[in-house]
Copies of this chain bind each other. A is one copy, B any other.
Amino acid sequence: MSLCVIFTLSKYIYNPSFVHNNLKKIGSELNPNVSVDCVIFGFDLEKLTVLVIDRGEISAENGPRLALPGNLIYDNENLDQAASRVLDELTGLKDIYLEQVGAFGDPFRIHKESDREWLKSIRAQPDARVITVAYFSLVKIEDYQPHPSSFAKNAEWTPVNDITELAFDHFEILQAAKEKLKQKIKIQPIGFNLLPEKFTLSQLHRLYESILDKPLDKRNFRRKIQKLNILSNLKEKQRGVPHKPSSLYEFNEEKYQELTQMGFDNFGF
């Protein structure tokens, strides 16, 4: 049963011929030595989450069940394209915010027997030295809800802070991605990629707190974010909440473009 799951999953995400046939990458070869892995962040309006793959019970030793989605690259695609492809294959989403985190891959990164076994089931050359280029991406959690019936049923949104181990060196990659996101959000308002089109200031506030992993003063946060002038106040309120309803806002791309062209240093968080 668990083998079956792995097979189905790997067929969807990892199997070269599947992708080959479906994306019509005729004439291109999988490069045995270079892969991409994606740290796909979401935000459930409470906590920062990551989309991880449950590999099932893959060995007697019970190594970590969870892994980041990833795959070898094709020789005719660039790294960004490979990352987009992995994301698309898993979620069906296109045009998603993606940013490179960096390259990883010790020669001996596969020290868990469970990882070795898994590779045998999904790679033509399971023993090849692989270096992996990590990306993080920001997805509106509403845009992708794993369906229990789909091939990718083993993908799940998991709160970042609940994750304590991952396959291979994926935990290290996750930490690096969190750190990169933390730095990046101080400089650019990329957080909007994680929120619905319409959102409240409190949601934005919680998002910043989750990413920066520290409490931010409510009044100071609101003042600061509003001073940036990149929010439009839709004249619309929440409905059906058991407390004073909040105004809804949306991110204003044009105002942001003005700002960046004039060049501003940071968001000061």
Q: Which of B78, B104, B107, B129 contacts A105 (CB 8 A)?
A: B78
Tell me whether A79 is interfacial, beta carbon within 8 Å.
yes
Select one of B34, B76, B77, B78 contacting A33, CB under 8 A.
Answer: B34
Contact of A78 among B75, B76, B107 (CB under 8 A): B107
Mask of A85-115 contacts with B, CB within 8 angstroms, 1/0:
0000000000000001011111100000000
Describe A's contact surface by its main secondary structure. Answer: strand
Complex contact A75–B34 (CB within 8 A): no
Chain A residues 21 to 59 lying within 8 A of chain B, measured CB to CB, are 31-34
The distance from the CB of A140 to the nearest CB of chain B, in whole angstroms, is 26
Query: Are A79 and B100 in touch, CB under 8 angstroms?
Result: no
With CB as the reference atom, state the residue of chain B lying closest to A109.
B78
Q: Which residues of A contact B (CB under 8 A)?
A: 31-34, 73, 75-79, 100, 102-107, 129, 131, 133
Residues of chain B contacted by A129 (CB below 8 angstroms): 31, 75
- Among B75, B79, B107, point to the contact of A76 (Cβ < 8 A): B107
Q: Given A33-B33, A34-B34, are A106 and B131 also a contact pair (CB < 8 Å)? A: no
CA distance A133 to B104 in the complex (A): 10
Determine if B31 and A133 form an interchain contact, defined as CB atoms under 8 angstroms apart.
no
The complex places the Cα of A102 from the Cα of B73 at a distance, in Å, of: 16
Q: Are A102 and B103 in contact (CB under 8 A)?
A: yes
A102 to B76, CA, bound (A): 20
CA distance A33 to B75 in the complex (A): 10
Judge whether B105 and A102 touch: CB under 8 Å.
no
A103 in complex: contacting residue of B75, B77, B103, B107, CB < 8 Å: B103
Residues on B with C-beta less than 8 A from A107 are 75-78
13 pairs across A/B with beta carbons < 8 Å?
A31-B33, A32-B33, A34-B34, A73-B131, A75-B107, A76-B107, A79-B103, A79-B104, A79-B105, A79-B131, A100-B102, A103-B103, A103-B133
